[in-house]
């Protein structure tokens, strides 16, 4: 009878060994991802536009923001939902952001990809600091996606996806 259990024991032993080996293989470190832009000039342009827009955001320059937002803006916020009326976005910024919140880009996080016959998509991470909280209060990085339209070298934001 003892010999009849041997095949089951060997199968069990093999299964455990295979599982352990597989788990160790899966925990091996993957090489760090390094983004390299396909189009360096486009990358520099979008990084500059991001800086221009969020400088206006941080200083409450609603006129500059309005000039950069497309009239057909779509703003998707994971917590706030979808907004499609430019003036409502600007009014909300004035009421809830101006003097209360500043945005900080996570250095090196921006990726830019061209979109043929349209413009580009920007993907990155940023932090928002609530200026009404005690200085030094932690802020967590969140992801964002911005669709930029190029119309005769005039760049406008047509879509924003803000994820927290």
Q: Where are the domains of the chain?
A: 40-162
pLDDT score recorded for residue 29: 74
Prediction pTM value: 0.80
Encode pLDDT of 74-120 as tens digits: 999 999 999 999 999 999 999 999 999 999 999 999 999 999 999 99
Question: What confidence score (pLDDT) does residue 68 get?
Answer: 98
Provide the 3-class DSSP secondary structure of residue 149: strand
For residue 13, the model assigns a pLDDT of 44
> Which ranges in 102-143 belong to alpha helices (H)?
none
**Measured between alpha carbons, how far is residue 106 from residues 66, 123, 143, 154 in Å?**
24, 11, 10, 25
Q: What backbone phi and psi angles, to 5 degrees, belong to 24?
A: -65, -40
- Domain 40-162 classified CATH 3.10.450.50? yes
Q: Which residues fall within 8 angstroms of residue 43, CB to CB, at 6 or more apart?
A: 37, 110, 112
Q: Which residues contact 146 (CB under 8 A, 6 or more apart)?
A: 50, 121, 122, 157, 159, 160, 161
Task: Give tens-digit pLDDT for 25-61.
Answer: 555 577 888 899 999 999 999 999 999 999 999 999 9
């Amino acid at each position: 009878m003892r010999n009849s259990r041997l095949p089951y024991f060997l199968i069990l032993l093999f299964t455990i060994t295979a599982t352990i080996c597989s788990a160790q293989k899966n925990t091996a470190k993957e090489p760090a991802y390094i983004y390299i832009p396909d189009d360096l000039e486009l990358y520099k342009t979008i990084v500059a536009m991001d800086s221009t827009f969020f400088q206006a955001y941080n200083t409450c320059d609603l006129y500059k923001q309005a000039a950069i937002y497309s009239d057909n803006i779509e703003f998707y916020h994971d917590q706030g939902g979808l907004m499609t009326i430019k003036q409502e976005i600007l009014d909300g910024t004035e009421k809830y952001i101006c003097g209360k919140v500043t945005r900080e880009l996570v250095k090196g996080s921006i990726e830019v990809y061209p979109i043929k016959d349209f413009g580009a998509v920007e993907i990155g991470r940023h932090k928002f600091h609530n200026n009404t909280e005690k200085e030094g209060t932690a802020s967590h990085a969140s992801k964002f996606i911005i669709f930029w339209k190029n119309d005769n070298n005039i760049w406008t934001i047509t879509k924003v996806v803000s994820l927290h």
